[in-house]
Structure 1
Amino acid sequence: MSSNFSDEDKDELFLSCRYGDLEDVQTFVTQHGAAALNDLRDENGNCVLHMVCANGHLDLLTYLLSVTSPSLLSVQNESGSTPLHWAALNSQLAIAQQLVQHPAGPGRDLIDIKNKAGLSPLGEAEMAGWDEGAKWFVEMMNLDGDGSKEGEAGDEDAVLDTEDGANRDIRVEIEDADGKIAKMTISGSINGAASQSTAS
């Protein structure tokens, strides 16, 4: 294995990650070692996970998470965005779930990281109009100071539909970096019917 590789090799690797070419990435690792992947960044500060997560390549993400440092999960590019931000921006739910649930990673703390625009991955999901992802992020968010999840019972903004006890609405307020409050209502059904969320 050689840790010496050309700019062309690096460019090819990032293209392989962008297009989900697992075999080419494995070939790079065979030739140069998995450790080389940890320090590689493109001209915008993106790591290999940014490319994979933006484009929804779940098999390649699974491989990369098995051979790279968990620290890559929280790498921020020049705009302050993590791979999870890019997954949210491009509505990649399976990717977002794998990033947050990776056993060796930072877990739900990833959802709290804000980019230079003041947006967390949840904020990116809202901006993109990706309701399914926004709902999942809210369900996974860190506990607040009193030990209850934001938007759950005990939060003044959480309400249960009382028609038949089968539906619930959760209202969440999220403060951005400028102190502005975004309100979201998540409507769900306990019996497994379709759910949706709306941002205001």
Structure 2
Amino acid sequence: MAPQLSEDEIDDLLYAARVGDKDELTSLLSSLAEREKVTPADILMSAKDEGKSTCLHMAAGNGHAEIVAHLLSYLPAGEAKADSETEKKKAKQEFLDAPNEYGNTGLHWAALGGHLAVVKLLVEHGASVALANDKNYVPLDLASFGDKFDVVDYFLAQSGGLEGDNAEAGGLEAGMEGVTADDVEEGRDSEAEAKDKGKGKKEGAEEKGKSG
């Protein structure tokens, strides 16, 4: 049975991942998993906002490599003996490649922000580099549009010469549709906001527009 999470609980989880608050995120996952009698991985896979963005999107888009690694440490999901290794691996892949409403994965957001350490971490854990969003852009395209050349070079080295198409004029703007500044730029939250336990984050998100 899927965990029953309130909107505020989901908001708190996403906020902790977005600002890189590992202690708060860990505490929330532990308490919710205990209450729902599921694993923290089950909580993570159920926690999505209205735009289908996950904790992984939030951490990856803001360059929090430590948080991304922490999230992935909970996977593969499932602790019951009946869960086969194949099912666990499938659950992990689904979490890694979960698209939001615009088709962007955590890897898309990390590439767009130029967060090389996060990009490497996600790819090493099996994130799909060839998944396209609803504008038909793969993560390499978004890195190219934003002149994130170290990320572009990494993708090219990993793919053996895969080239990003769609890099025509205006491509960056199109590729960023639905992605807010809050979720792809670092340093926008003050230290006071980062300690706010997520209160008021929803209002801030609404001012910037829907995440994507």
1:60 corresponds to 2:67: yes
- Name the CA distance, whole Å, in 1 between partners of 2:141 and 2:4: 39
Report if the CA contact (8 A) 2:144-2:164 is conserved.
no
Give the Cα separation in 2 of the matches to 1:138 and 1:85.
15
Gap change, CA 1:135 and 1:15, over 3 Å in 2: same
1:132-188 deviation per Cα after TM superposition (whole angstroms, max 9, x unaligned): 1101001111xxxxxxx33xxxxxxxxxxxxxxxxxxxxx7544499xxxxxxxxxx
- Aligned position for 1:47: 54
Output the amino acid matched with 2:154: W
How far residue 85 of structure 1 moved from its aligned partner, in angstroms, is: 0.3
Q: Contact between 2:141 and 2:165, CA under 8 Å: does it hold in 1?
A: no
Q: Secondary structure at the match of 1:88?
A: helix
- The answer to which structure, 1 or 2, has the higher relative contact order (CA under 8 A, 6+ apart) is 2
Moved more, 73-82 or 29-38: 29-38
Structure-2 residue corresponding to 1:138: 156
Distance 1:89 1:41, change over 3 A: same
What per-residue deviation string (whole Å, max 9, x for no partner) do you get for residues 70-102 of structure 1? 221101111111100000111100000000001
Matching residue of 1:129: 147
Which consecutive unaligned segments of at least 5 residues does structure 1 have?
142-148, 151-171, 179-200
Q: Counterpart of 2:66 in 1: which secondary structure? A: helix
**What's 2:131 paired with?**
113
Indicate the RMSD between aligned Cα atoms, in angstroms. 2.1
Residue 84 of structure 1 corresponds to 107
If you compute each CA radius of gyration, which structure gives the higher value, 1 or 2? 1
Which residue, 54, 78, 94 being the options, matches 2:117? Answer: 94
Question: How many Å separate the matches in 2 of 1:121 and 1:139?
Answer: 14
- Give, in whole Å, the separation in 2 of the partners of 1:58 and 1:173: 26
CA distance in 2, matches of 1:173, 1:89: 16
Identity fraction in percent: 29
Cα distance in 2, alignment partners of residues 139 and 116 from structure 1: 25
* Equivalent pairs, count: 144
Helix, strand or coil for the counterpart of 1:111?
A: coil
More strand by proportion, 1 or 2? 1
Change beyond 3 A, Cα 1:32–1:140? same
Taking structure 2 as the reference length, what is the TM-score of the superposition? 0.63
In the alignment, what sits opposite 1:21?
21
Aligned to 2:6: 6
Q: State whether residues 17 and 58 of structure 2, in contact with CA within 8 Å, keep that contact through their aligned partners in structure 1.
A: yes
Which runs of 5 or more structure 2 residues have no equivalent in the other structure? 34-39, 76-90, 169-212
Superposed displacement of residue 8, structure 1: 1.2
Match of 1:145 in 2: none
